[in-house]
Amino acid sequence: MKTNNILDVSNLSIYPRHSKTLKLVDDISFNIPKGKVTCIVGESGSGKSLTALSIIQLLSVQLDFDGVIDFEKSRISQLPESKLRDLRGLDIAMIFQDPMTSLNPVFTVGYQVLEAVLAHRKISKSEAKNEVIKAFDDVGIPADRYDSFPDELSGGQRQRIMIAMAIINNPKLLIADEPTTALDVTVQKQILDLINKLQKKFNMSVLFITHDFGVVQEIADQVLVMYKGKIVESGNAKKVINLPNHPYTKALLNCIPSLKSSKKLSPINYKKLDQEMAKL
């Protein structure tokens, strides 16, 4: 593995256990550089979430994967479940798309973040509580929200709690699966700024999943464009946005609305796209 990468994925394929030939993710290889933000962008169903879930091996039991996944010096694609449990939440943390399904409605948010600390670290409850308050401060949640229940918070606040829970153990890699999709644009911008700020503060590596090139533009150093289970284009985010190579990337970029220009948006013409791809 190159030393400037935190994660190297080689020849990853994901398929239903009963049908190995049906590739939901089809032989993709990529790496995540240390201390940078890498975005996976692609439309619904392109295989983004499955790719993320395979890294921490939380794929549904109906699915299986082939391929090699190296995290720092260890081959995590072959780790036993007991070791994977240590890895998840400690070295690699994940923020899921919908905070309401990830937070338990019957416990306070402070307690739930406290549990994330105590599950991985041998420190006293009062030390752990101090860590939680510090993490709340990092994500812009006032300390007096410690005893609130999830449904007493706004969507943006809940997502901040999920971010606090993800970063509290100082993960080396943060995976965020469309963490802002359910939020309105102003809150979305605040959350992206927050993730950017925390990434720099803790020098984390981030894998950020989105269907929106506007988000890529806002946050990414490197981008991987996925279409139908394959990576069709990858590289420096600015370069890909300014000079896209692949017809799908071009089509996806044409769907970004801009208030500044009067450019007409064009929906993706899949028939034309398939014809162009056949010529590649």
Ligand X SMILES: Nc1ncnc2c1ncn2[C@@H]1O[C@H](COP(=O)(O)OP(=O)(O)OP(=O)(O)O)[C@@H](O)[C@H]1O
The vertex-31 CA angle with 5 and 172, nearest 5°, equals: 50
Shortest separation between residue 177's beta carbon and Mg ion, angstroms: 6
> Which residue, 49 or 108, has its beta carbon nearer to Mg ion?
49
DSSP 173: E
Taking CB under 6 A as the rule, does residue 50 contact ligand X?
yes
In contact, 217 and 183? CB cutoff 8 Å: no
170 closest CA partner among 148, 199, 190, 197: 199
In contact, 207 and 176? CB cutoff 8 Å: yes
Return the beta strands (E) in the chain as ranges.
5-16, 25-33, 37-41, 63-71, 74-75, 92-95, 173-177, 205-210, 222-227, 230-236
The binder of Mg ion chosen from 10, 13, 49, 254 (CB under 5 A): 49
Taking CB under 6 A as the rule, does residue 101 contact ligand X?
no
Please work out the total of residues on this chain that contact ligand X, with binding judged by CB under 6 A: 14
Measured from each CB, the residue nearest to Mg ion is: 49
> Which residue, 35 or 214, has its beta carbon nearer to ligand X?
214
Q: Which does 171 bind (CB under 5 to 8 A by kind): Mg ion, ligand X, none?
A: none
Q: CB atoms < 10 A from the CB of 148, how many? A: 17
| Tokens representing residue 90 in the block | 């400690």
Stretch in the footprint of Mg ion (CB under 5 A) among 45-53, 119-127, 132-140, 152-160: 45-53
Taking CB under 6 A as the rule, does residue 46 contact ligand X?
yes
Shortest separation between residue 178's beta carbon and ligand X, angstroms: 6
> Which residue, 5 or 159, has its beta carbon nearer to Mg ion?
159
Residue with tokens 């948006």: 265
> Which residue, 16 or 214, has its beta carbon nearer to ligand X?
16
Taking CB under 6 A as the rule, does residue 49 contact ligand X?
yes
Give the x-and-dash track for 208-237 against ligand X (CB under 6 A): ---x--------------------------
Shortest separation between residue 182's beta carbon and ligand X, angstroms: 12
Report how far residue 49's alpha carbon sits from residue 40's, in angstroms, rounded to the nearest whole number.
9
Residue with tokens 């109906």: 62
- Which residues lie near ligand X (CB under 6 A)? 16, 24, 42, 44-50, 60, 62-63, 211
- Which residues lie near Mg ion (CB under 5 A)? 49
